[in-house]
Amino acid sequence: MSLFFIGIGLGNCKDISINGLEAIKSCDKVFLEGYTSIFGSSTEELFKLYEKEVIILGREDVEQKSEQILDPAKEKNVAFLVIGDVFGATTHIDLWLRAKEKNIECKYIPNASIINAIGITGLELYKFGKTTSMVFFEENWMPTTAYETIEMNLKNGLHTLILLDIKVAEPNKEDIKKGKRNVQPPRFMTINEGLNQLLDIEEKLGKNIINKNTKVIGCARIGSNNIVKYGKISDLINFDFGSPLHCIIIPGKLHFMEEEMLNTYK
């Protein structure tokens, strides 16, 4: 009996690999991690293709109540599905290790991740430095990690991928009693919000790393209808990239081929 860790790709239900689909069909229980990304197919569409009910898991389900995934995997095949790739920008190593501790056989079926799909920009993947995340600022809370990572990568001539915050509300016990799963609509940070926050950090720290003339790349819905725009922050900050998901890239030192490709996205 196995616990299958399956990446289902970035776009819609058709992006799963044949190996992934065959594994799902062999499973008694199918879970989908539903808090680090969003997908272009509904659970009904997944059900139609997989011929299995798909149980959506929140962060708490995976991080604190993992027995609901692990216990059935002791006796039956269970699938744990992740949008994109299981190990791309979301680490589910913790769940893998907990399964191993319980002597559950773990199998990995990879898929495309935002980490490699940004190759569509023309930037060479091996010239990316540390990836960072931009979280929604709160009153009296302005984390500067993304800015500091950009600073470090630029010093080394490397590109920076900035993943943008997703806020999916965890339902509380009272809501569950009332049969409600998600009481608040999820929030997805847009490229515009991310760029504004970067300028806010610049204003606060004043290190002159970023300004309105800094060249950036905005990427939306990569793997489905791919919107890529290259230009100065001032050009992109009000551009409507449409529905989520979005991410931002700050290019480092560019090879002329990278620049040629980026110019096609101006």
Site residues (CB under 6 A) for ligand SAM?
10, 36-37, 82-85, 88-90, 113-114, 163-164, 166, 219-223, 245-247
3-state secondary structure 135-179: CCCECCECCCHHHHHHHHHHHCCCEEEEEECEECCCCCHHHHHCC
Shortest distance, CB of residue 179 to ligand SAM, whole angstroms? 28
Nearer to ligand SAM, 41 or 90 (CB): 90
Class of residue 108 by CB neighbours under 10 A (exposed 0-12, middle 13-18, buried 19+):
middle
Q: Which residues contact 255 (CB under 8 A, 6 or more apart)?
A: 124, 127
Nearer to ligand SAM, 29 or 221 (CB): 221
How are beta strands 160-164 and 132-134 bridged, if at all? Answer: parallel
Nearer to ligand SAM, 45 or 175 (CB): 45
Instruction: Name the closest residue to ligand SAM (Cβ).
Output: 84
Name the 3-class secondary structure at 12. Answer: coil
Q: How wide is the angle at C-alpha 116 spanned by C-alphas 56 and 111, nearest 5°?
A: 45
Contact 46, 16 (CB under 8 A): no
Nearer to ligand SAM, 23 or 117 (CB): 117
Shortest distance, CB of residue 114 to ligand SAM, whole angstroms? 4
Nearer to ligand SAM, 72 or 163 (CB): 163
Shortest distance, CB of residue 10 to ligand SAM, whole angstroms? 4
Nearer to ligand SAM, 209 or 222 (CB): 222
Kindly list the distances between the CA atom of residue 155 and the CA atoms of 151, 161, 241, 254, in Å, as whole numbers in the listed order: 6, 15, 29, 13
Shortest distance, CB of residue 232 to ligand SAM, whole angstroms? 20
In this structure, the chain runs to a length of 266
